[in-house]
């Protein structure tokens, strides 16, 4: 079970813990205990669900709600329902419950980051060549600026020190994506890191560069952050600690 599968299962987990005996939920909870990023995500999910539950408990349910609903079927003269406070309160409860049941309460910023990270790993899985080859990161940034890519790409001090491999410009549903590849060691593809650059408005909500978001997609470890008008996703096949040293 990877983190995406665990998140899907844990969206059905209730804050009270009454679902913890379910085998799939128990496995997903164990993964959340092992993975700090997944554990932090689960804490936010449970906090949101508890907040919604508290709001629902604060909505008063009229004593005559059941009688009013049953009587409604026998009343021939139509009533303007939105002028009846008791029915309005009941309708509000039903709508909130439907939202909780049918829709995942994943924060929008996490969904946007996860989409960009998934795109990055899928792009690397299909990548066969680079448009421009050079070991000089500055030359690659200049090439991108002149060839449909992003301008003013900012590299971390760790990436600045690495020899580059090359760069290219990709497309994500009609949105421009720049890619710069770097060499970290001598183990072939496993010792490469790949920096994807997006317009910040395309991937909103990422943390600033000094506190990147870390995640995993299959074998890929990713760090995501934002700086200025751009958002960044750095992908590598080593470890979270290895990526941290490059930021």
Which pLDDT does position 106 carry in this prediction?
A: 46
Question: Which of 71, 102, 133 is where one domain is finished?
Answer: 102
42 near 32, Cβ under 8 Å? yes
Query: Residue ranges of the alpha helices (H) in the chain?
Result: 3-10, 23-34, 36-58, 65-72, 85-102, 108-126, 137-146, 157-160, 240-244
Tally Cβ neighbours within 10 Å of residue 69: 12
The CATH number given to whatever domain includes residue 155 is: 3.30.200.100
221 CB-near residues (< 8 Å, 6+ apart): 214, 215, 235, 236, 237, 238, 239, 240, 242, 243
Which pLDDT does position 204 carry in this prediction?
A: 87
113 CB-near residues (< 8 Å, 6+ apart): 203, 205, 206, 213, 215, 224
Which pLDDT does position 197 carry in this prediction?
A: 97
Tell me, yes or no, whether 142 and 238 share the same domain: yes
Range of the domain at 178: 108-244
Tell me, yes or no, whether 114 and 67 share the same domain: no
Tell me, yes or no, whether 61 and 148 share the same domain: no
Which pLDDT does position 108 carry in this prediction?
A: 47
203 near 215, Cβ under 8 Å? no
Question: Which of 77, 102, 127 is where one domain is finished?
Answer: 102
Q: What is the pLDDT along the chain (247 residues), one digit of tens a residue?
A: 777 777 777 777 776 667 777 788 888 888 878 887 777 777 777 777 777 776 666 777 777 766 666 665 555 555 555 555 555 566 666 665 555 544 554 454 455 788 999 999 999 999 889 999 999 999 999 999 999 999 999 999 999 999 999 999 999 988 999 999 999 877 666 789 999 999 999 998 889 988 999 999 989 999 999 999 999 999 998 889 989 999 8
What the block records as the tokens of 65 is: 């709600």
């Amino acid at each position: 079970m990877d983190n995406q599968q665990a998140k899907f299962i844990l969206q059905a987990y209730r804050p009270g813990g009454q679902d913890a005996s379910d085998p799939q939920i128990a496995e997903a909870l164990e993964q959340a205990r092992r993975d700090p990023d997944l554990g932090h995500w689960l804490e936010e999910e449970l906090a949101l669900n508890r907040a919604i539950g508290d709001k629902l408990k604060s909505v008063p349910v009229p004593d005559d709600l059941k009688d009013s609903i049953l009587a409604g079927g026998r009343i021939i003269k139509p009533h303007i329902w939105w002028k009846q406070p008791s029915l309005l309160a009941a309708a509000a409860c039903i709508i909130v419950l439907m939202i909780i049941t049918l829709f995942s309460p994943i924060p929008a910023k996490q969904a946007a980051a996860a989409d960009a990270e998934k795109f990055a790993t899928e792009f690397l899985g299909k990548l066969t060549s680079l448009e421009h080859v050079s070991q000089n990161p500055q030359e690659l940034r200049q090439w991108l600026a002149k060839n449909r890519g992003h301008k003013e790409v900012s590299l971390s001090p760790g990436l600045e020190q690495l020899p580059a491999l090359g760069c290219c410009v990709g497309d994500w549903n009609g949105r421009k994506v720049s890619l710069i590849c770097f060499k970290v060691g001598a183990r072939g593809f496993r010792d490469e890191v790949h920096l994807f650059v997006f317009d910040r408005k395309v991937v909103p909500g990422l943390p600033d560069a000094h506190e990147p978001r870390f995640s995993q997609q299959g074998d890929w470890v990713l760090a995501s952050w934002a700086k200025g008008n751009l958002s960044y996703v750095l992908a590598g096949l080593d470890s979270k600690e290895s990526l941290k040293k490059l930021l």
